[in-house]
Each structure stands twice: as C-alpha cells, then as structure tokens.
Amino acid sequence: PLIDANSVIYQNSRNSQMLVRGADEPWLGLQLVGGSADILARAASRLNEYDFDLLDLNMGCPMPKVTRKGGGAALSHNPKLAAACVEKVVRASRFPVTAKIRIVSESDPEATLDLARALEQSGICALTIHGRLWERVYAGPVAMDIIRAVHDALRIPVVANGGVFGQQDAARLRQGSGCSRIMLARGTIGNPWIFREIDAPQPVAPPTHEEVCDEMERQVMGMIELYGELVGMRQARKIILAYLTGRGYRRSRRSVVTKLATAAEFVQFLAVIRAEGPSEKFQQTEGFIQG
C-alpha cells in the first residue's frame, strides 16, 4: 500500500484498512510518501507497530496532489532533502528502508547518479528507478542507459522500472538496464497473469474468458470486503475496466463500468459479461493494457 505520512500521524481511519495483512501474503511492503524529513520519520516510527517486511520511500510519484506538497518526484530534484528524509526514516524504522526515484535528466546521467549515491550513503538497502522524467509521467521511452549507469555505480541492489506490459518488455528492460531485478506497476492492473508470463521461458497463452471473469470477481469482491461497498466499488471501477480493455469485450459494456456503485450492480454486470463473452475472436498482443 501507498500511504501519506501525514495521514499516519493524524491517524486517518483508512490506514487501518490499507495496512491489513492477508493470511495468504508471505511478503508485504509498505510505501510511504511525504515531503518533510521530520514528518516522514514520525510516520515511520508509528508504523513500527504494524506487520510488514519493508518500508519504501516514494520519491517518484509524478501526480500533482503529491508533488505540490514536496513529496514524490519533487524530492528527486532536491537531493539534500531526499537524503535527509532517508537518514531520519532509517533511524526511526525497525524495517529495512528502500527508495523509489525517477531519473532527473534524460541527457546527463550524473544528475541521477548524484541523487542515487546520496540515498545509498544515507542508508537505503535497495533503489528502484523509473526511467522517465517527472514531467513525462508515463509517456515516452524509458531511459535504460541512465538506469544502467546507476546500477553500475551503486553497491546496493538497483531495480529497473517503467514500461513493462509483457514478456518482451521485461526482457528489454533487463537487458537495456543491466538490472536482474525489475518492478512492475501499471502493467499488473487487470493482468495478474503478467507475472507467470514474464517468468516463462516461452510465450504463454493469454487468460481465458473464464479466468478473466473469475479473477476480476475475486479481486473486486475482496476490495468490497476490505474497504466497504462505497469505497471498494469506487476504487474497483478502474480495475474492472483494466480487466476488460484490450480483450475483445464490447466498448458499450465497458462504458457501463463508470456507473457501477454497489456489489449487486457489479454482480449483475459480471453475469452479463460471463454470458456474453468477448464480442469477437481476439488475439491478445503484447502491451494490450496500454490501449
């Protein structure tokens, strides 16, 4: 889960839901976002009472609601503050601390290297790099050469991130960045099968219609159980759309998703999808989720 440091300090009631660890989760990491070293450290101290395995500092989120408060990718442009945040969080947390950043420049590796070295010296045990600028959000090519420069310069593990929506994307990122470790993000939304795909030695068949419906139902009903019907369904809409997009389901059906508000409406909608299936024979292509 991604949690704002201020919400931890002021005990936002939603945090208790987000920090629930399932009995079937052998490993759980928590990502903390904020723009103040003192606030982040106080939040890290409070989080010590919870049950997870790793605390990651988000210094890569490009969303304005995060960056205008000095957090996320805004920290990547302030190496001294970013390093101070790490130092204080490492001292406050009982968990191993990692960080996720974005590249700082597309043309000058040294700008990103300076940030990465400062974070390593401040105590992180691993670093994830999204290979795009803050301003590009999720558009454009991933700067694998800059990720590689950081990977070669640091002693700690470096994880490459950006643009992985299938097996070929994963292979390109590993080869281009020199990193044996990669992080998947948007490519997993509506496509949990991506993990078996990128680990397979050969191309694998896409999920069947029945698998898509079963997994979508399991995830959406689990969100409702965890967050409650109102919040759960609001958050689930983009998940439902992701499961259906690019797999041959009718656009008219997908347009209904934004209006789903209750579990009963979702169950009724899913029954129609199950019965109807994709509108035409569909050959899944790599990167379908992007469309």
Tell me the pLDDT of the chain (291 aa) as tens digits: 789 999 898 876 566 677 778 888 889 999 999 999 999 999 999 999 998 999 999 999 999 989 999 999 999 889 999 999 999 999 999 999 999 999 999 989 999 999 999 999 999 999 999 999 999 999 999 999 999 999 999 999 999 999 999 999 999 999 999 999 999 999 999 999 999 999 888 888 899 999 999 999 999 999 999 889 999 999 999 999 999 998 999 888 888 999 999 999 999 999 999 999 987 654 444 333 333
Q: Where are the alpha helices (DSSP H) in the chain?
A: 5-9, 14-18, 37-47, 64-67, 79-92, 109-122, 144-153, 167-177, 194-199, 209-227, 229-244, 251-254, 263-276
Residue 19 is predicted with a pLDDT of 79
Residue 172 is predicted with a pLDDT of 95
Distances (CA, A) of 86 to 49, 70, 151: 20, 15, 19
Residue 280 is predicted with a pLDDT of 60
Q: pTM for the full model?
A: 0.88
Residue 281 is predicted with a pLDDT of 52
Residue 253 is predicted with a pLDDT of 85
**Catalytic annotation present for 61:** yes
Q: Is the distance from CB of 100 to CB of 57 less than 8 angstroms? A: yes
Residue 104 is predicted with a pLDDT of 94
Q: Is the distance from CB of 150 to CB of 177 less than 8 angstroms? A: no
Residue 122 is predicted with a pLDDT of 96
- pLDDT (tens digit per residue) in 78-136: 999 999 999 999 999 999 999 999 999 998 999 999 999 999 999 999 999 999 999 99
* Catalytic residue chosen out of the listed positions 61, 85, 179, 213: 61
Distances (CA, A) of 128 to 112, 157, 175, 279: 12, 8, 16, 40
Tokens 């995830």 sit on residue:
219
